Chains A and B, each alone.
Chain A
Amino acid sequence: MITSNKRWRLLALLAVFAMVVAACGDSGETTDTTAAATTDTTAAATTDTTAGEEVTETTEASMVGGTVRGSLTEPPSIDPQLISDSEGFEVGRLLFDGLTLYDPAGGAVIAGVAESWEPNEDNTVWTFHLRDGVTFSDGSALVAQDFVDGWNRLADPDLASPVAYHGSLAGIVGWDDINGGEVSGVVGDDVVEGIVALDDLTLEVTLNSGLAFLPKIFAHPAFSPVKIALTESDGWADMPIGNGPYMMTQPWQHEVSISLERYDGYYGTAGNPDAVEFVLISDPVVEYQALLDGQIDVLDLGDPALYEQGEADFPDSFTELNTGVFQYLGFPTQTPPYDNPLMRKTLVQATDREAIATRILKKDVANGFVPPVATGAVQDQCAACVFDPEAAKIAFDELGGIPGNKVTIAFNAGGGHEDWIEAVANDWTNNLGLEVEFLTLEWAAYLEFLGLTGGPPAVEPFRLGWQWDYPSAYNFLGPLYDSRTADNFTRYNNPEFDALLDQATSAATEEDSIPFLEAAQILLGEEVPVMPMTYGLARTVYTDAVSNVFYNDFGFFLWEDIVVNG
């Protein structure tokens, strides 16, 4: 997510709170801003708690209904094959159901449109059996061909989808030939060899090489089914028609709102709220104001500077939850002195990561390379991750230090990274005597610096984060450190590591792949191509207008389960 210039607005907000309390509060009542705000919320909560208790005691039928309102930043697209950010994902998940769905409890996938599936003996040919009677919200019946059409559309170079790489990730036979092939001017005229509808309810997918956790990949909205004729209609981009628990009855009002209504023909468990409305807001502090006002009911506090405020204002609903995100400082492993693992180790060892994580980033420190919520994650197996400035200094001097005694750390401006990057720099200065400079770039320029635009890779240590596509350790290890993948921004290249990943992907079951994934993480702990900082930790709050609010480790609310208090 791209946000900017939040800090000064937040300071202003805090200053304003002080002013408002001074102006509006009775002089004898309170002197403290937080206390004043809390008083208000508690007062409101007391009146409504009684109502809330009554709701839980009555029958289940009364839990259904109402409109739950949340906020999103305007997504680039809600077309399932074009969704490229977390905001679009949140909408797409409610509008479309894939073959599999992310388990709300986290870590796994559950049956979606496919009620069952089985691979051949080497996991290269997968057969998915679809439920009978699944319909799109326009009433038409869903058949296996709708998946074939949707996926061919994703692969079609004429769509030029930024998320077409998901098909390569899965390794579907013929995908790269089609996606990298000639542009014809028409979307939907290409056929990927490895995707075949055997009949209306059977889909067969053929892969270049075996992949035990393929069903996890197919839970992504990019693999949604579509009625291909509808995708060519004018209204599609603003009002796509899907097969999920909610549907659109009015087009997306750009930068204003996206309104969804429950789809009564949904094959699965019906959602609780009658409607889900997303108010589109571009700034985290403005979102928080909207929550205080009651314009929205639930909020993921995106800005660390809002955590304390949120906890003080909404003490009863404030919740913390681990999510599938990994934040790190990457080393350019092909550039001296960072090409030496021992040098990388001393830099990590000299950094008091725990203090930085807990005090500045307000999260637990990451002592591994994969968030614990992902299958196959290993923690505390990274010797270099233990803070030991004396040992680091000795090793640093033995290595002969760094020429010029000067290093540069790169980060993107406006993302709230200044403070912790500066703290890392202070540690390197105090513990190793290094002079540290900063390279601050705006987002689009930063991506270019990282080598995302086809240019040379980063040559200075850089900060970055990775959010999983599916809940497996492989999704953190493969893309970031496999020497053969494009997102390996550190250009880490270790044949031993690549071999372990190959063994993991060709394992018979996901369970069998875990020992290899664990070994790969232990190897990373020795080589530290990146310095782990934190894992994802979401802080959410909600008003007393709603209850039964749950957040998923994917980073979204389970909107369909929320109960709007009557």
Chain B
Amino acid sequence: MSENASQNLWTVIGKSEEFASDLGVCIKIEDEQIAIFKLAGEKEWYATQNLCPHNKRMVLSRGLTGDLNGEPKITCPLHKRSFSVNSGECLTDSDTGCLKTYPIKEDDGKLLIQFS
């Protein structure tokens, strides 16, 4: 597999320094709203859908990040449901749907996301 071919799928979303290291940020790509988080740990950057599957509002980027038994997570500001930012799975309620997650990486001071 050629490196270039897979790199083509990565979209640059900005300079990584523009993303505050401790706050979620929502970005818009085409018509999609994506929440970007940076958490201290093995893997630093995470990207998920901004829509909370519970009441379907565009709010996740404004939630609090944290971890549950080591699993990095985002907690929705509206009703405090928590989701793994790795798998997108809901960690607090069994009947709330999953988040879509996006591969994201930092390269040469830029933040790139795989968006399809």
* A, B: real partners: no
Please list the residues of chain A having a beta carbon within 8 angstroms of any beta carbon in chain B.
none
